[in-house]
């Protein structure tokens, strides 16, 4: 980070070293005319927070900049240091955006700053929102897919990274290679429910045609067989046909029965089969669905035992 972004920022020092090297704002010539505004906790605070000297000093000057609405280069330095000390400081990020706009800042440099902050704080909402705003201003998504891929390689379930990635893809039309990206993640970890969710985001964008549904059913069946008790692909399978009758896709019924022959304790196969059978008014099929409920109640799915008792009672009403 360049000097104008702050003194001692992102130097990866330990806290003791940071305190030793920190230069107080009153000792910096460019801040000599600024009167800091101290935190006012009232005359008798019950439990005052033991802020570090660096934190108190930074926030005192940040409050001064905010009070004076000073949107200058030196205000940018103060917001940088305030954010470094507390990356979740929403007010510091908001004021920073006002400052950036006023000084005609280099937003590519700002993107570099956000990247460094996000790598250390990958689940910080304020950082991701700020990145969103900066990308809108730059109108350049070039770095975003590689960046989110890097973040997701460290935590495949990072909601902020997935949300940002979806926004970028949708906003800038970057759909072409996303299905391949999802395929790679699912191949690496078939239980990656976030990757399954992203796959649905991609395949459903233009509407789920029968051709797409059939293709995805076959793909999902293949992945289920690698880990039949993995809930993610079963949910994906039901999502594909949501709003349609399962009877329109007989291969699902057949697949559930075949799966239970090899994995008789696969609760997801039972649950999907019950959904299939419940669509009909055929008494024999309703009774078979109730029998499957009994299997789930009797040990196959103890966690949801009460739910299956309720489902069986609902089926009973159809007889």
Active site residues: 123
Number of C-alpha atoms within 13 angstroms, CB side, residue 148? 24
Distance (Å, whole) CA 106 – CA 249? 55
CA distance 319 to 312: 11
Residue 125 CA to chain centroid, in angstroms?
A: 10
Count the Cβ atoms, other than its own, within 10 Å of residue 222. 11
For tokens 């006012």, the residue is: 40
- Given a contact cutoff of 8 angstroms between Cβ atoms, the answer to whether 25 and 61 are in contact is yes
Show the tokens assigned to 197. 């969710």
Phi, psi for 144 (deg, rounded to 5): -70, -45
| Cα–Cα dist 319/314, whole Å | 10
Report whether 159 contacts 125 (CB < 8 A).
no
Q: Return d(Cα 282, Cα 129) in angstroms, integer.
A: 53
The residues near 89 (Cβ < 8 Å, ≥ 6 apart) are 82, 83, 126
- How far, in Å, CA of 254 to CA of 295, rounded? 19
Closest C-alpha to 195, from 178, 207, 209: 178
How far CA 110 is from CA of 10, 84, 102, 167, in Å, comes to 14, 14, 14, 20
- Spatial distance between the Cα atoms of 180 and 186, rounded to a whole number of angstroms: 10
């Amino acid at each position: 980070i360049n000097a104008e972004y702050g003194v001692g920022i992102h130097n990866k020092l330990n806290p003791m070293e940071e305190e030793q090297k920190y230069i107080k704002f009153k000792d910096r010539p460019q801040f000599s005319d600024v009167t800091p505004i101290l935190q006012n906790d009232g005359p008798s605070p019950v439990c005052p927070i033991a802020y570090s000297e660096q934190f108190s000093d930074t926030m005192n000057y940040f409050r001064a900049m905010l009070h004076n609405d000073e949107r200058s280069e030196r205000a940018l330095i103060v917001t940088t240091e305030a954010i470094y000390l507390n990356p979740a400081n929403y007010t510091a990020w908001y004021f920073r955006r006002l400052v950036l706009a006023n000084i005609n800042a280099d937003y590519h440099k700002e993107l570099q700053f956000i990247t460094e902050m996000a790598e250390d704080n990958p689940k910080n909402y304020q950082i991701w929102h700020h990145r969103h705003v900066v990308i809108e201003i730059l109108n350049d998504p070039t770095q975003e897919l590689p960046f989110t891929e890097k973040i997701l390689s460290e935590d495949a379930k990072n909601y902020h990274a997935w949300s940002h990635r979806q926004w970028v893809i949708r906003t800038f039309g970057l759909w072409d290679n996303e299905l391949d990206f999802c395929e790679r993640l699912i191949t690496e970890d078939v239980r990656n429910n976030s990757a399954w969710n992203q796959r649905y985001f991609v395949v459903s964008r233009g509407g789920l045609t029968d051709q797409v549904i059939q293709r995805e059913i076959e793909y999902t069946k293949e992945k289920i067989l690698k880990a039949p008790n993995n809930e993610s692909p079963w949910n994906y399978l039901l999502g594909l046909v949501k709003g349609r009758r399962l009877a329109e896709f007989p291969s699902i019924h057949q697949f559930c029965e075949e799966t239970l022959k090899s994995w008789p304790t696969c609760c997801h196969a039972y649950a999907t089969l019950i959904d299939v059978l419940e669509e009909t008014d055929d008494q024999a099929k309703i009774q078979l669905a109730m029998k499957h409920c009994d299997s789930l109640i009797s040990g196959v799915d103890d966690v949801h035992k009460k739910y299956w008792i309720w489902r069986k009672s609902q089926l009973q009403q159809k007889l």
